[in-house]
Structure 1
């Protein structure tokens, strides 16, 4: 019987949950409480990420089940057979995913885990996109450098099992924000963008790194994509900066986005607005639709085509609407004969 069920409850799984159930539980909870979401809660997000960090590692999970959360964090309880053993019970106290990190679980750790698991673009057969545990395969666009996916938590284990005093806590690495201009077509179809970074390495030398950013159909301006541990190396943090791209939508010549809907103006001559017209409109995905009117059209009225707008990222297969707004181009002057005809017939 497990000593404490708190971490299992955070992920919404039972103590007998297998690896796949733990991954799915983390995915659901992390997406709900991520700070960028309307339901976001930074502290809850950190707790969920720490729960996954412990329960997804068989060694940490065993210590948690047997001795509780403090032990899993590296604080050996009284009576722990590993206490004063002079080292880590599982073969070293490094900063990798299988080690017990010193200094406590930080917000940076939480975001690093979320990024390593695919961020908001979580995919794959189980909806998550990992490979085998610790490998983070399956097409994830996030690539950590160095031996630890959390970056900079290597070294010894002061304050851990059998360690000495608590080590000074390193500050979290900075987050560098960059605007990423993308076209409306990129956001409609999804697109792979490659960005080349010139960054400072561990030794201070300059190096290059290409980041691949997979845009998902339906993403909106303001969407943030984080690449943890990919910027300049910061010695005081013992890790690289987090690079954060913020999507910026380029103006489109025809369409204007309104949430999941698209709007376009259709300009009519004064004659067309009175006598009717026959036009053909091309949608953002290249579909041609006929548009006819035989009666007068009032300026700024509109017609709506359901399902011809932008993809809805949270509802695959669904799209918003296309709204066509009629704009009447009135003449700026009239001849005497034109005025007479208007006065005669109107």
Structure 2
């Protein structure tokens, strides 16, 4: 990221030359005399791109609005008197701007939100530095567009929306998707898992599953197989949308917790033996 000289001077990019001179002289008031080229290198962290501050250069890379370089614009001794050795202002700009660490926030989402997709609006307050280098607090609304099928851990980044401070690039604000627990479904990748409690009689004689999907549809799923421990009924294309292709979905996997009786009478045992005898 290049240095924004206009921002440092606190002027508009369309400012006239006289306004630039005044702004620069104002900024230079608190500094002591020193070599212009040395000052530039310390101030901005690299060698002068102006071909020499003393007026011999051709301006900014690729041409400049300042013929003869910035030294030619302000006078040969202007940059030399702009910054002082050891001055407070000099030390403030002596280093390259560093990037502040990202600010991370959890964003809890329901399975319904992650199934259908939604937009969430988050209000933030941040400090910015205006053209006169004064700090002010502003409020912004960030819109997070959640796509169908997004998973826990997905990150949404808003670059440089943190506080502005001198010589620091504002932090990125990062929202990290989290999944709220659901009363009916659990998620495994792109599959949805549903666990039902049924009786032994239902497991042996047949069972019909009635459920409401995450997008509000009613499903009726008859199960005619004998439901044994570990049995799963798989309903294809009724899971979560695949993030890269929401037209495709994972599967709905229905698991069963078969409740066995804790006791049987002699007559019940005898009846079961008669029914189940080979």
> 2 CA distance for matches of 1:234 and 1:310?
43
Say yes or no: does 1:323 pair with 2:253.
yes
Structure 1 pair 217–280 and aligned structure 2 pair: CA distance change class (3 A): same
Matching residue of 2:107: 180
The 3-state SS of whatever aligns with 2:240 is coil
Separation of aligned partners in 2, 1:316 and 1:92: 52
Any conservation in 2 of the 1:302–1:323 contact (CA below 8 Å)? yes
TM-score by length of 1: 0.50
Partner Cα distance (2:241, 2:95) in 1:
48
Aligned length: 198
Question: After the TM superposition, which residues 26-105 of structure 1 pair with which residues of structure 2 at under 5 Å, given as runs?
Answer: 84-87=57-60, 89=62
SS at match of 1:230: coil
Kept after mapping to 2: 8 A contact 1:261/1:320: yes
Unaligned runs of 5+ in 1: 1-45, 47-73, 94-165
Answer yes or no: is 1:291 the counterpart of 2:218: no
The answer on whether the counterparts of 2:153 and 2:178 sit within 8 Å (CA) in structure 1 is yes
Paired residue for 2:24? none
Residue 230 of structure 1 pairs with residue 161 of structure 2: yes
Q: Higher strand fraction: Structure 1 or Structure 2?
A: 2
CA contact (8 A) 2:99 2:170 kept: no
Question: Which protein has the larger Cα radius of gyration, Structure 1 or Structure 2?
Answer: 2
For residues 263-313 of structure 1, give each alpha carbon's deviation from its aligned partner in whole angstroms, at most 9, with x where no partner exists.
111322211011112332333223333222345211221121221111111
Distance 1:167 1:235, change over 3 A: closer
Deviation at 1:190, TM superposition (A): 0.9
SS at match of 1:86: coil
C-alpha distance in structure 2 between counterparts of 1:210 and 1:227, whole Å: 11
CA deviation string 1:138-177 (max 9, x = no partner):
xxxxxxxxxxxxxxxxxxxxxxxxxxxx973111122111
Give me the whole-angstrom Cα distance separating, in 2, the residues matched to 1:208 and 1:257: 36
Once superposed, which parts of structure 1, at least 4 consecutive aligned residues long, lie more than 6 Å away? none
1:313 equivalent in alignment to 2:240: no
Tell whether the 8 Å contact from 1:234 to 1:241 is kept in structure 2 after alignment.
no
Unaligned runs of 5+ in 2: 2-46, 67-92
The aligned residue for residue 341 of structure 1 is 271
**Structure showing greater relative contact order (alpha-carbon pairs closer than 8 Å, 6 or more residues apart):** 2
